[in-house]
Amino acid sequence: MLDINRATVVLGGVTVLSGVSARVDRGGWLGVIGPNGAGKSTLVRAVTGLVDYKGEIRIAGQAYAKSDQRCRARSVAYVPQRPVLPRSMSVTDYVLLGRSAHHPYLAADTARDRRVAATVLERLQLSAFAKRLLGELSGGESQRVVLARALVQEAPVLVMDEPTTSLDLGHSQLVLELADELRREKGLCVLCAIHDLTLAAQYSERLLVLSRGRVVLSGPPAEVLTEANIRRFFEAEVEVLDGASGPAISPVRRQAVMSLLKAK
């Protein structure tokens, strides 16, 4: 469903993504992780056509030119990390923008468009906010509205860049669980860049680790998220616990680590 072949991005003369290759099949979930500045958001933006790149990115076998954004929008739904939200627009009108790629320019919303939007708002516990203005929402509420706009596109590929930003634990789970349900129900293909390693491990089928714009690790979460790998690529001291849904990453205070080393 999504095939990335040696994608390279140069911004301002600096190579921020170098020869990245990855594949996500129909119904698959690939988590993209790495330290700050690793190139996660750049990879997401390349897939959505928001930055120029060299190499090849195919979606359901189709390679899109940068000018084909309208066609691409029918195949790829995007949840940005820092969305631009018109403060005076209502939640419903904003979410319905996700349907615009499915009908001619300036065409009115159809009854089906509104049914799809209402269903998604309900599943994200946003029905009570349907008539509210975007400027009246909290950060977490806004983040869910942005996801709703992406989901109403009904695209076969969902690309998310830090979708749990501004969300508390419960709503983080709500957002990821809904994406996972749609993945299972409709064969949705998910590419998700995320900082939270525990959430990445528990929802992703496979993980891609980026460091300085290059792929340094790839594989199932249990193989990728070892204490040694996290220490090497994230410069963090952690304990990896076996959870019912997958690995759970627990930070260990450096002071405690030093005390243990001295005791030995």
In this predicted model, what pLDDT tens digit does every residue of 101-149 receive, in sequence order?
Answer: 877 777 788 899 999 999 999 988 899 999 999 999 988 888 889 999 9
With respect to residue 131, please indicate whether it lies within any of the assigned structural domains: yes
With respect to residue 136, please indicate whether it lies within any of the assigned structural domains: yes
Give the span between the Cα atoms of 205 and 217, in whole angstroms.
14
Q: Each residue of 147-203: pLDDT tens digit?
A: 999 999 988 999 999 988 878 888 888 889 888 988 898 888 999 999 999 999 999
Q: How many domains does the chain have?
A: 1
- What phi-psi label fits residue 78: left (phi over 0), alpha (psi between -120 and 50 degrees) or beta? beta
Q: Each residue of 2-40: pLDDT tens digit?
A: 999 999 999 999 999 999 999 999 999 999 999 999 999
Q: Each residue of 66-114: pLDDT tens digit?
A: 667 777 778 889 999 888 899 999 999 999 999 888 777 777 888 999 9
Predicted pLDDT at 18 = 94
Give the span between the Cα atoms of 213 and 34, in whole angstroms.
10
With respect to residue 68, please indicate whether it lies within any of the assigned structural domains: no
Domain that holds residue 117: 85-154
With respect to residue 108, please indicate whether it lies within any of the assigned structural domains: yes
Helices 139-151 and 169-186 pack at an angle, to 10 degrees, of 10
Predicted pLDDT at 256 = 56
Residue 260 has pLDDT above 80, yes or no: no
pTM score: 0.86
With respect to residue 114, please indicate whether it lies within any of the assigned structural domains: yes
With respect to residue 58, please indicate whether it lies within any of the assigned structural domains: no
Predicted pLDDT at 255 = 65
Tokens of 137: 């929402």
Predicted pLDDT at 263 = 58
Predicted pLDDT at 172 = 87
With respect to residue 138, please indicate whether it lies within any of the assigned structural domains: yes
Burial (CB count <10 Å: 0-12, 13-18, 19+), residue 242: exposed
Instruction: Please list, in sequence order, all residues whose beta carbon lies within 8 angstroms of the beta carbon of residue 223, skipping any fewer than 6 positions away.
Output: none
Q: By C-alpha distance, which of 35, 51, 56, 47 is closest to 216?
A: 35
Predicted pLDDT at 262 = 59
With respect to residue 107, please indicate whether it lies within any of the assigned structural domains: yes
**Given the structure tokens 């869910």, which residue do they identify?**
144
